């Protein structure tokens, strides 16, 4: 399937987890909120869910776009009530805009969603977003057992799952 991000991408890193991880500080302003755009995006997402066009949806929040996609990948593989413990990998497409790639992947801009759709529905979803004056772009496709991005080492879902589920054990000693 295809992953589409809906909502403005400004690469906002102030008060973000990325900033805290890189500098040990939370500084700057939080991302601005455009309530009108959030309402339009929310209505579109709700319509995609109701129509069955969205296979899955996740809001972008703490950690930004890449963390959202990683969470979706770990939760992937749910069919008929049973879940593939490994999840479903993702091939990410390189960002080709003007902002630094790290700001796009980890920026915590408000009002963004990642929507999983069939390849046949991707152009329709992009057009529906455009008609609502919402930025939208294809960010990747599902498949495999890792999160991959050209020019970067693949991140196997098994490693990601071990890290994700093992943090509490490490914290407790």
**Residue-by-residue DSSP string for 126-142:** HHHHHHTT--EEEEEEE
Q: What is the pLDDT of residue 76?
A: 79
CB atoms inside a 10 Å sphere around CB 106: 22
Cα-based distances in Å from 71 to 43, 54, 58, 74, 161: 23, 17, 9, 5, 10
> How far apart are the C-alpha atoms of 46 and 148, rounded to whole Å?
29
Q: What is the pLDDT of residue 168?
A: 56
Q: What is the pLDDT of residue 19?
A: 86
What the block records as the tokens of 76 is: 């992937």
Q: What is the pLDDT of residue 111?
A: 94
Which ranges of the chain have pLDDT less than 50? 79-83
């Amino acid at each position: 399937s295809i992953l589409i991000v809906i909502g403005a991408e400004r690469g906002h890193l102030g008060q973000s987890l990325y900033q805290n991880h890189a500098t040990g500080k939370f500084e700057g302003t939080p991302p601005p909120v455009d309530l009108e755009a959030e309402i339009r995006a929310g209505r579109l997402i709700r319509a995609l869910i109701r129509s069955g066009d969205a296979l899955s949806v996740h809001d972008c929040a703490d950690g930004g776009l890449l963390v959202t996609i990683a969470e979706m990948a770990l939760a992937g593989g749910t069919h008929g009530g049973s879940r593939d413990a490994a999840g479903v990998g993702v091939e990410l497409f390189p960002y080709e805009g003007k902002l630094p790639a790290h700001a796009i992947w980890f920026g915590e801009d408000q009002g963004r969603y990642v929507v999983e759709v069939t390849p046949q529905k991707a152009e329709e979803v992009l057009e529906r977003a455009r008609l609502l004056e919402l930025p939208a772009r294809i960010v990747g496709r599902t498949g495999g057992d890792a999160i991959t991005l050209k020019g970067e080492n693949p991140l196997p879902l098994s490693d990601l799952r071990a890290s994700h589920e093992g943090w509490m054990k490490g914290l407790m000693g």
